C-alpha cells in the first residue's frame, strides 16, 4: 500500500468533492481523505499507478498549478509506483533472501 498527499491550491467545490468520492470507487482506491489543504490517498501500486490518478485529478480540477517541487514529487511518486509494481509482480526471490555461498575448505 502506498500513501500519497496532494496539496490543494484552493478549497474544493461541492462538485469536485463529489467527483473525488466517485474517483475513489472508479479507481478502486483504498482510502481517499479530503482535508482543507490537501487530499490523502492510499492505494495498491500493483493495481493502479500514480499517472492514472494524477490524470483523473487533473480532469476534476483538483490539481491545477504545479510548481517545480510538485513536479519533482509527482515524478518521485511515479518512480516509486513502478518499482513497487515490479516488485509485487516479480516471482524471483530477492538477493538478500538467498543463503550465502560458503566455500568448501580443502
Question: Residue 36 maps to which CATH number?
Answer: 3.30.70
- The C-alpha atoms of residue 24 and residue 22 are separated, in whole angstroms, by 5
Domain of 30, in residue numbers:
2-97
Give domain status of residue 21, yes or no: yes
Give domain status of residue 59, yes or no: yes
pLDDT in tens, the chain (106 residues): 889 898 887 888 889 888 888 988 888 889 888 888 888 999 988 888 899 998 998 898 888 778 899 899 999 999 999 988 888 777 776 666 666 667 776 6
Give domain status of residue 43, yes or no: yes
Contact 65, 9 (CB under 8 A): yes
- The C-alpha atoms of residue 74 and residue 36 are separated, in whole angstroms, by 20
- The C-alpha atoms of residue 89 and residue 72 are separated, in whole angstroms, by 26
Contact 3, 42 (CB under 8 A): yes
- The C-alpha atoms of residue 32 and residue 42 are separated, in whole angstroms, by 7
Domains: count for the chain: 1
Residues with Cβ within 8 Å of residue 94, at least 6 apart in sequence:
none
- The C-alpha atoms of residue 64 and residue 28 are separated, in whole angstroms, by 23
pTM of the model: 0.74
Give domain status of residue 46, yes or no: yes
Amino acid at each position: 500500500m502506498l500513501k500519497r498527499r496532494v496539496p490543494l491550491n484552493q478549497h474544493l467545490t461541492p462538485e469536485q468533492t463529489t467527483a473525488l468520492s466517485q474517483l475513489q470507487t472508479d479507481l478502486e482506491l483504498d482510502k481517499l481523505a479530503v482535508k482543507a489543504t490537501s487530499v490523502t490517498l492510499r492505494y495498491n501500486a500493483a493495481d493502479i499507478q500514480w499517472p492514472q490518478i494524477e490524470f483523473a485529478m487533473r480532469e476534476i480540477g483538483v490539481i491545477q498549478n504545479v510548481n517545480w517541487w510538485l513536479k519533482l514529487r509527482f515524478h518521485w511518486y511515479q518512480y516509486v509506483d513502478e518499482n513497487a509494481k515490479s516488485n509485487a509482480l516479480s516471482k524471483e526471490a530477492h538477493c538478500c533472501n538467498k543463503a550465502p555461498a560458503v566455500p568448501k575448505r580443502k
